[in-house]
């Protein structure tokens, strides 16, 4: 009997701003309602309250010329000159790299419809920096803190190492001797408290569905009822050990820690407490275990004592659960493995099944594909998703389960095709660290690299970025401008960094760009960001009034998730 929940999923696009010392950190995850580590959870407000119902949407820019003739650079030169002379960007440093994708090379990689055709190319060209023709640069190889533009590199590593179709599993193992259910985390931090919802990514796998599977399986095993015929008392524990015990980066200050959950392989909605507050539960794994306990209580079980941590039996370890995603990639998976099937002896007609005498898996649910999790991470700039994807990729690549391994796998992905990038410094996968150092050229090369993948879901990385004035972290920017809907970019925001990395089209040609701005003491954040937005508008061919009034700074007390300038 198939215990997997397999269905196509497309990600939601939601937005939030940020507050405090992180100075408008990129948007974060909207998750199920207020949950605590107290003995009982409030009535779930459900992932569907905060996640839109999805319809298939692959943003496809219009077809473009496959000719390699260079673009007219005059507009770009004028725009950069105006930006560098703009008083709004006083006391800031810029790393800028803008390049045109070679149309002939891209034409060999796929059909003319850019990133829209979901057909694999039989002989895609190997990426080489030569397929990019420089349009304009300014300190392109200066390494600076990239803020959340770092997530471009993380996305590329996750898609490359894990694969776009990979899924994460969450299972429950039943120990008949101790009457204990162990919730085992295999990397899914987007669990919902209710039923699984295949129409969304955040809540694709649900704890209520997992509880239903457990009840059904225990009935099949003849282990559902106690001596008096009612559901037996059970213990619930959690094994969230897959990512080790290094849950906070030593590089993160108190400010950065406020914008990311403890890094665990198991969580409800990335561990967010409430979509209107910057607050995370202190123990995401135990919190998920409590959600399962509540669902079991609602189904008649008497959960005894508190939800605790414990170790899953070796045959059902978190590492094996992560590896299961690789084994099942591209197809459905029966979550009851052959070994478990041998444990369960079929009863003769009219006889009760013989309860198992050793641990057995009684239920499992799976996440949306990695490609859709990556899309959610990029659209909402979710730090927790970035860090957990990095951890999973590191384990898959044999680099360990901590921050060092995650940083190494992202570093390797950014340097494997270009030795000139070997000087970059990666201190986390989310961009929260102020100590990472990445150049604009590195980020553009990563985008270009993805465009020449043989897998269409990897190629779509560039198109799954936030769309100016439309969604994600760019929904509130470029509104009422000609660039709205035309530019796609990953945003980055730290107290001393503003970055944009993405793409647009001019004269039917694909332009990739990255701009990293470092603010020095005395710089003003919002005027600086407005000047950078105007630079990209001008690059996109829009007429810009460089003499307009300086935007006003917003007091930190007014920076709330619902009030982001």
pLDDT (tens digit, 9 = 90+) per residue, 484-527?
999 999 999 998 999 999 999 887 788 999 999 999 998 899 99
Asked if 160 contacts 365 with a C-beta cutoff of 8 angstroms, the reply is no
Q: What is the mean pLDDT of residues 180-209?
A: 96
Of the two residues 101 and 65, the one the predictor is more confident about is: 101
The Cα–Cα gap between 110 and 105 comes to 9
Kindly state the average pLDDT of the residues 259-285.
Answer: 89
| 412-to-205, 397, 405, 409, 438 alpha-carbon distances in Å | 31, 10, 10, 5, 13
Confidence of residue 457 (pLDDT cuts 50, 70, 90): confident
Q: Of 156-160, 237-241, 338-342, where does mean pLDDT reach its minimum?
A: 338-342
What is the bridge-based pairing of β-strands 302-303 and 233-239?
parallel
Per-residue pLDDT at 479: 93
Cα 142 to chain centroid distance, Å, stands at 27
Residues 482, 540: contact at Cβ < 8 Å? yes
Locate all alpha helices (DSSP H) within 188-253, ordered by sequence. Answer: 207-221
Residue 244 has pLDDT above 90, yes or no: yes
Give the model's pLDDT for residue 332. 36
Percent of the chain at pLDDT above 70? 71
Q: Which three-class secondary structure state does DSSP give residue 153?
A: helix
Looking at residue 462, its pLDDT comes to 85
With 0-12 / 13-18 / 19 or more C-beta atoms within 10 angstroms meaning exposed / middle / buried, residue 134 is middle
How far is 48 from 52, CA to CA, in rounded Å? 7
HSE-CB for 79 with a 13 A CA cutoff: 25
State the DSSP H helix or E strand holding residue 530, giving kind and residue range, or none if neither: helix 525-539
Q: Confidence band (pLDDT; 50, 70, 90) for 40?
A: very low
Residue 55 has pLDDT above 50, yes or no: no
Q: H or E element: which one contains 515?
A: strand 509-519
pLDDT at 494 (0 to 100): 92
Three-state SS at 224? coil
Torsion of Cα atoms, 288 then 289 then 290 then 292, to 10°: 90
E-only strand ranges, 102-214? 132-138, 169-175, 180-185
Q: How far apart are CA 444 and CA 508, in angstroms?
A: 19
Q: What are phi and psi of 272, to 5 degrees?
A: -70, 140
d(C-alpha 536, C-alpha 152), whole Å: 18
pTM equals: 0.81
- pLDDT at 289 > cutoff 60: yes
Assigned token pair, 496: 């001393």
Q: pLDDT-based confidence at 272, cuts 50/70/90?
A: very high
pLDDT at 271 over 60: yes
pLDDT tens digits for range 543-559: 998 866 555 555 443 33
**Is the model's pLDDT at 158 over the cut of 90?**
yes
Averaged pLDDT of the chain = 78
Instruction: Give one word for 532, left, alpha or beta, with left for phi > 0 and alpha for psi -120 to 50.
Output: alpha
């Amino acid at each position: 009997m198939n215990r997997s929940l397999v269905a196509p999923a497309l990600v939601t696009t939601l937005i939030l701003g940020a507050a405090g010392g992180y100075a408008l950190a990129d948007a974060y995850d909207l998750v199920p309602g207020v949950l605590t580590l107290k003995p009982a959870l409030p009535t779930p407000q459900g992932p569907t309250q905060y996640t839109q119902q999805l319809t298939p949407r692959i943003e496809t820019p219009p077809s473009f010329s496959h000719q390699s003739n260079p673009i007219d650079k005059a507009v770009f030169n004028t725009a950069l000159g105006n930006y560098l002379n703009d008083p709004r960007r006083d006391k800031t440093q810029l790393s800028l790299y803008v390049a045109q994708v070679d149309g002939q090379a891209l034409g060999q990689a796929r059909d003319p419809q850019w990133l829209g055709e979901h057909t694999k190319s039989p002989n895609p060209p190997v990426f080489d920096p030569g397929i990019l023709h420089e349009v304009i640069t300014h300190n392109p190889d200066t390494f600076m803190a990239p803020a959340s533009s770092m997530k471009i590199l993380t996305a590329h590593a996750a898609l490359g190492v894990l694969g776009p179709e990979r899924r994460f599993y969450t299972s429950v193992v039943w120990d008949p001797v101790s009457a204990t259910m162990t919730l085992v985390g295999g990397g899914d931090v987007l669990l919902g408290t209710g039923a699984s919802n295949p129409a969304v990514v955040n809540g694709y796998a649900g704890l209520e569905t997992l509880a239903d599977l457990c009840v059904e399986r225990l009935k099949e095993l003849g282990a559902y009822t106690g001596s008096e015929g009612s559901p037996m008392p059970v213990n619930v524990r959690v094994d969230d050990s897959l990512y080790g015990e290094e849950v906070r980066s030593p590089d993160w200050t108190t400010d950065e820690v406020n914008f990311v959950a403890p890094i665990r392989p198991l969580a409800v909605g990335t561990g967010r407490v409430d979509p209107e507050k910057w607050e995370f539960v202190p123990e995401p794994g135990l919190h998920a275990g409590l959600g399962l306990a509540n669902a079991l209580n609602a189904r008649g079980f008497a959960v005894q004592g508190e939800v605790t941590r414990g170790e899953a039996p070796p045959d059902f370890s978190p590492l094996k659960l992560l590896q299961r995603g690789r084994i099942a990639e591209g197809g459905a998976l029966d979550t009851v493995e052959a070994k478990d099937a041998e444990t369960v002896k079929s009863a003769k007609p009219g006889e009760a099944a013989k309860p198992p005498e050793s641990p057995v898996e009684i239920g499992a649910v799976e996440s949306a594909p990695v490609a859709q999790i990556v899309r959610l991470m990029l659209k909402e700039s979710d730090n927790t998703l970035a860090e957990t994807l990095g951890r999973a990729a590191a384990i898959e690549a044999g680099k360990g389960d901590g921050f060092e391994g995650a940083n190494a796998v992202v570093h390797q992905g950014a340097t494997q095709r270009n030795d000139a990038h070997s000087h970059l410094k990666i201190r986390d996968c989310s961009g929260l660290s102020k100590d990472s150092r990445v150049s604009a050229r590195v980020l553009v090369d990563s985008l270009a690299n993805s465009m020449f993948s043989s897998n269409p879901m990897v190629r779509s990385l560039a198109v799954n970025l936030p769309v100016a004035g439309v969604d994600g972290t760019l929904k509130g920017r470029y509104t009422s401008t000609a660039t709205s809907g035309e530019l796609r970019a990953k945003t980055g925001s730290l107290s001393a960094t503003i970055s944009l990395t993405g793409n647009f089209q001019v004269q039917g040609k694909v332009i990739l760009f990255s701009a990293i701005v470092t603010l020095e003491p005395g710089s003003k954040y919002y005027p600086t960001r407005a000047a950078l937005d105007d630079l990209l508008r001008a690059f996109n061919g829009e007429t810009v009034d460089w003499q307009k009034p300086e935007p006003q700074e917003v007091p930190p007390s007014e920076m709330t998730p619902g009030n982001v300038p």
